[in-house]
Amino acid sequence: MKKIVFLSPLFPSRSLGTSLCKLILLLVFIAASFQCAYAEDLPDTAWSRSFDPESVVDAKFSPDDSLIYVATSGGVYSVDTKTGDIIKKFYSIPDGVNNIFALTVSPDGKFIAVAYEGIVTIINTLTSDIYLEINTINS
């Protein structure tokens, strides 16, 4: 039985290939150790925020990461990412609506869009005014 040995330019011999593999494994282990040490230095929780009795449906960061827009079963809030304080309530869902389904933020952070039960509402984040409302069921 013949033994086939593949020699590549990266691993010209079996012993060099084995040594290189050991070196790579050592470097991966060292990198993983630094990552674990860094993760241990971080706090478990910076802050937490309850919206009780409302339930959180969706949340998105503002483009500059200074705010989190939170869609709840009662409306849309902006929350300061450093303190967890509620900055303002942008929008309350209309009576008879069960829940907000989705929330998204425009790339410039000037608008948020909220979708619920066939309606999409676009809100100006600077003024809190409704910019546009689209009824996707009756259009």
Range in 6-15, 61-70, 74-83 with the lowest mean pLDDT: 6-15
pLDDT higher at 67 or 36 = 67
CB 33 within 8 A of CB 40: no
pLDDT at residue 41, as a whole number: 56
Q: Phi-psi region for residue 109, left (φ > 0), alpha (ψ -120 to 50) or beta?
A: left
Q: What is the pLDDT of residue 37?
A: 46
Does the pLDDT of residue 128 top 50, yes or no? yes
Ordered by start, the domain boundaries in the chain are: 9-42, 56-135
- pLDDT value, residue 60: 92
pTM of the predicted protein model: 0.63
- Torsion sign (Cα): 10, 15, 18, 20: negative
7 or 19: which leads in pLDDT: 19
CB 100 within 8 A of CB 57: yes
What fold does the segment set 56-135 form as a domain?
Thrombin, subunit H (2.40.10)
Report, as an integer, the average pLDDT of 7-27.
53
Helix (H) or strand (E) holding 17, with range, is: helix 14-41
